[in-house]
Amino acid sequence: MEYLIGIQGQDFVLVAADNVAAHSIVKMKQDQDKMFKLSDKILLLCVGEAGDTVQFAEYIQKNIQLYKMRNGYELSPTAAANFTRKNLADYLRSRTPYHVNLLLAGFDETDGPGLYYMDHLSALAKAPFAAHGHGAYLTLSILDRYYRPDLTRDEAMDLLKKCIEELNHRFILNLPSFSVRLIDKDGTHDLEKLIPVGAK
Amino acid sequence: IYDRAITVFSPDGHLFQVEYAQEAVKKGSTAVGIRGKDIVVLGVEKKSVAKLQEERTVRKICALDDHVCMAFAGLTADARIVINRARVECQSHRLTVEDPVTVEYITRHIATLKQRYTQSNGRRPFGISALIVGFDSDGTPRLYQTDPSGTYHAWKANAIGRSAKTVREFLEKNYTEESIATDNEAIKLAIKALLELLESKEIETLVTEIEKEKEEEAEKKKQKKST
């Protein structure tokens, strides 16, 4: 039901998430923000079991901040991703696993932009583009076809819009709006919400 | 054995371990804190380090969160523990109530921690006093002081450590509405308070050193000219 997508460019990462918080067949909230700011240049996009998502994401968020206070500098995106994965893995074989699917997007001063795909079985993969949810089945092929590593910000945005349009066209559920954010060397930037218009 | 109390009352009502801890604090390098109108200032006496020691590893002013800082006087190792616990509590508070700590809250947390160690089996009190500064969400600047006994008070200006008494007396005389009128003035007051310490020994030794160096340079130049 929920949808996450991330696209990495040469010097940025573009991410988007749908805004619906549903319980069974009812849309409880239409402006839910599923992105969590782990630090100035790292975003965690989190979907899955209600409650688990916020609980897990906020726990990671506060631990990343604690690292900053203790050490005087922030964790790199790679380190943050691996820390998150370790936590997920540890809880997986406990009585209280977290059923969440994540995308971690960040910008590192030395390594540049990075996008990490993580799922509820604690798999971790660094990828140039990734998506979660049923919508991923419809959009990964579009990304396969049109993605290039040297995409400009506008081109990445157009690619993102293509994906959202396809959801609007073929996905059974109506996802009325998507939050969009961009991470680059200057930090996290909020972009305009994407509101797909009418079915094709 | 961890079942025996170490901090116990003396017949005349003293907790000697706590008082000895306070003595340890008096041996530490001075720290001064000043609360201005829109600013809080922390200043610490920089202890001269050994020649081969890397200076920058001696950090006496520490951030507890984005909006709270503390400086300490006393046992550095004890301070590290207290600071770490405070940092964890700052994040934990944000996690549970979705709000940053107030300066008073975190001070109370640290003070409670210190008190617990004056009433636990097998443990000794922390040998540090702390000056905790920061701004609450409503923008009010705060300065608090804690000591090994676990008490805490709010202050307009205070000093802890070696020459705390001298510095506090200086502050009592010089802390006025004018002296903290602007941010710069408040910072200057903190620096002036610390300079009070350098009076006797250090400035004189530094001056003697400099004079000696000058003489040596003059000698060298003379020798060069003659050859």
pLDDT digits (tens, 9 = 90+) for A115-146: 999 999 999 999 999 999 999 999 999 999 99
Q: At what angle do helices B201-226 and B183-198 cross, to 10 degrees?
A: 80
Q: What average pLDDT does the segment B97-122 reach?
A: 96
**Is the predicted pLDDT of residue B112 greater than 70, yes or no?**
yes
More confident residue, A167 or B54: A167
Tokens 């004189």 correspond to: B204
Residue B55 pLDDT: 76
**Is the predicted pLDDT of residue B212 greater than 80, yes or no?**
no
Write the CB contacts of B143 (distance below 8 Å, at least 6 apart in sequence). B33, B34, B35, B40, B131, B132, B133, B154, B155, B156, B157, B158
Quote the CA–CA distance of B160 and A8 in Å, as a whole number.
Answer: 52
User: And the tokens for A63?
Assistant: 């631990």
Chain B interface includes A40 (CB < 8 A):
no
pLDDT band at B61 (very low <50, low <70, confident <90, very high): very high
Residue A195 pLDDT: 94
Q: What average pLDDT does the segment A162-189 reach?
A: 96
Chain B interface includes A63 (CB < 8 A):
yes
**Minimum CA–CA partner of A73 in chain B:** B63
| Residues forming beta bridges with residue B144, ordered by sequence position | B132, B154
User: And the tokens for A13?
Assistant: 């990462």
Closest among A12, A47, A59 to A189, alpha carbons compared: A12
When mean pLDDT is compared across A61-70, A153-162, A190-199, the lowest value belongs to A190-199
Q: What average pLDDT does the segment A166-186 reach?
A: 96
| Interchain pair B91, A59: CB under 8 A | no
Of B63, B88, B95, the CB nearest to A58: B95
**Is the predicted pLDDT of residue B34 greater than 90, yes or no?**
yes
Quote the CA–CA distance of B35 and B124 in Å, as a whole number.
Answer: 32
Chain A interface includes B97 (CB < 8 A):
no
When mean pLDDT is compared across A157-171, B149-163, B206-220, the lowest value belongs to B206-220
Residue B197 pLDDT: 77
Tokens 């608090």 correspond to: B144
Chain-centroid distance of CA B29 in Å reads: 8
| Sign, Cα dihedral of B39, B153, B125, B14 | positive
User: And the tokens for B118?
Assistant: 């004056």
Domains delineated in chain A: 4-194 (3.60.20.10)
Write the CB contacts of A105 (distance below 8 Å, at least 6 apart in sequence). A6, A8, A13, A15, A42, A43, A45, A77, A113, A114, A115, A116, A183
Best probe of the B interface among A54, A58, A69, by most B CBs < 10 A, is A69
> Count of CB contacts below 8 A, A vs B?
21
Residue B200 pLDDT: 52
Quote the CA–CA distance of B10 and B3 in Å, as a whole number.
Answer: 19
Q: What average pLDDT does the segment B10-29 reach?
A: 95
Contact B44, B60 (CB under 8 A): yes
Instruction: Report the mean per-residue pLDDT for chain B.
Output: 90
pLDDT band at B47 (very low <50, low <70, confident <90, very high): confident
Contact A60, A87 (CB under 8 A): yes
Residue A148 pLDDT: 97
Write the CB contacts of A43 (distance below 8 Å, at least 6 apart in sequence). A15, A35, A36, A37, A104, A105, A106, A181, A183, A188
Tell me the percentage of chain A whose pLDDT exceeds 90. Answer: 97
Tell me the percentage of chain B whose pLDDT exceeds 90. Answer: 70
Quote the CA–CA distance of B133 and B146 in Å, as a whole number.
Answer: 11
pTM for the whole structure: 0.85
Closest among A16, A87, A21, A20 to A56, alpha carbons compared: A87
More confident residue, B65 or B202: B65
| Interchain pair A62, B64: CB under 8 A | no
**DSSP, res A59:** H
Chain A interface includes B58 (CB < 8 A):
no
**Is the predicted pLDDT of residue A199 greater than 70, yes or no?**
no
pLDDT band at A11 (very low <50, low <70, confident <90, very high): very high
